[in-house]
Amino acid sequence: MKTWSDPDLMLAMRLHAPGEALRAERVPVPRPGPGQVLIKVAACGVCRTDLHVVDGDLTEGRYPLVPGHEIVGRVVAGGARFPGGARVGVPWLGWTCGTCEYCASARENLCAEARFTGYTLDGGYAEYAVADERFCFGLPERYGDVEAAPLLCAGLIGYRSYAFAGEGRALGLYGFGAAAHILAQVAKAHGKKVFAFTRPEDRKGMEFALRCGADWAGGSDQAPPEPLDAAIIFAPAGALVPQALAAVKKGGRVVCGGIHMSDIPAFAYALLWGERRVQSVANLTRADGEAFMRVAAETPIRTQTKAFPLEEANEALAALREGRLEGAAVLVP
| Cβ nearer to Zn ion, comparing 195 with 292 | 292
Min CB(49)–Zn ion separation in Å:
4
Question: Considering only residues 244-273, where is the footprint of Zn ion by CB under 5 A?
Answer: none
Min CB(221)–Zn ion separation in Å:
27
Helices marked H in the chain: 48-55, 145-148, 154-165, 178-189, 203-211, 240-247, 286-298, 313-321
Dist CA 319 CA 177 (whole Å): 12
| Cβ nearer to Zn ion, comparing 101 with 221 | 101
Question: Considering only residues 19-48, where is the footprint of Zn ion by CB under 5 A?
Answer: 47
Out of 22, 51, 65, 111, point to the residue binding Zn ion (CB under 5 A).
111
Out of 37, 93, 153, 317, point to the residue binding Zn ion (CB under 5 A).
153
Q: CB count, 10 Å around CB of 30?
A: 18
| Cβ nearer to Zn ion, comparing 30 with 150 | 150
| Residue 218 CA: distances (Å) to CA of 172, 198, 199, 201, 243 | 11, 6, 8, 9, 13
| Cβ nearer to Zn ion, comparing 95 with 197 | 95
Dist CA 279 CA 42 (whole Å): 35
Min CB(48)–Zn ion separation in Å:
7
Min CB(124)–Zn ion separation in Å:
11
Strand partners for 233: 174, 256
Out of 37, 38, 46, 49, point to the residue binding Zn ion (CB under 5 A).
49
- Should residue 110 be labelled a site residue for Zn ion when binding is judged by CB under 5 A? no
Dist CA 182 CA 212 (whole Å): 8
Question: Considering only residues 78-107, where is the footprint of Zn ion by CB under 5 A?
Answer: 96-97, 100, 103
Residue type, 257: G
> Closest by alpha carbon to 12, among 90, 91, 124?
124
| Cβ nearer to Zn ion, comparing 36 with 49 | 49
Q: Please list the helix, strand and coil fractions of the chain in percent, rounded to the nearest 5, in that order.
A: 30, 30, 45
Residue 117 in 3-state DSSP?
strand
Binding residues for Zn ion, rule CB under 5 A, total: 8
| Cβ nearer to Zn ion, comparing 37 with 178 | 178
| Cβ nearer to Zn ion, comparing 12 with 156 | 156
Contact residues: Zn ion, CB under 5 A: 47, 49, 96-97, 100, 103, 111, 153
